[in-house]
Amino acid sequence: MSSYNIPIPTPPIPIPIPDPNSNPNPSPNPNPSPNPTPNPMPTPEPTPIAKTSYNYDIQTLQDKLPAILDDFKKYYVYFNKNPTYSEYQTIFENLKGVLDSINSDLFKIANNVETGIHNISSSLLEINKLIEKEKLKNFELKAVSSKINNTYNGSEIMINEYKQIYNEKYINNIFLFIGIIISGVALVKVFTNRVP
């Protein structure tokens, strides 16, 4: 919990100094009431901490803080100048409680923000691990795909080579068949010419 370094300013209004021969608890009001209020000021309630609206909570506390600090400094002087005046002490203690409450709220907000950052960091680490796993899978799939492509390309080359060999043998067989026919015709003519 942080503390506030509050300077003691010169009071903006005259401070009533108790007379040693008078009542030890003087009242600035000529018609004192059982509960005098020199400067009525409602005590702000502690600001509730929302789960996610950190900016709104901080802005709310920031809007309240200047006025509370001004009153705190003023009544700090009043209380120290008139320590026997119970109303000053009551208001001073209330303001001190409000500042403690604001400080506590700020601590809670800071703690919630830190927890949120930690959770986000943990989530990012998990996401990074998943990304690395997916990268590894992608690399393995690329390797398999490359092998398949190489196998396909090799198979296609082999098929083309077998086609070429087949075509060459087919042409050779055709020429061989034609040669056999020509040879047969030639032999027939030769033997026919020899027959008397």
pLDDT score at 65: 84
d(CA 97, CA 43): 9
Pair 25, 12: CB distance under 8 Å: no
With 0.75 as the threshold, say if the pTM is over it. no
pLDDT score at 164: 82
pLDDT score at 126: 92
d(CA 87, CA 37): 7
pLDDT score at 37: 45
72, 67, 65, 78: which is closest to 13 by C-alpha? 78
pLDDT in tens, the chain (196 residues): 344 443 333 343 444 444 444 444 444 444 444 444 444 444 444 444 444 567 888 888 888 888 888 888 888 888 888 888 888 888 888 988 888 888 888 888 889 888 888 999 999 999 999 999 999 999 889 888 888 887 777 777 778 777 888 888 888 888 888 888 888 777 777 667 665 5
- What is the distance, to the nearest Å, from the Cα of residue 115 to the centroid of all Cα atoms in its chain? 11
Parse the chain into domains and list their residue ranges.
53-186
d(CA 67, CA 39): 14
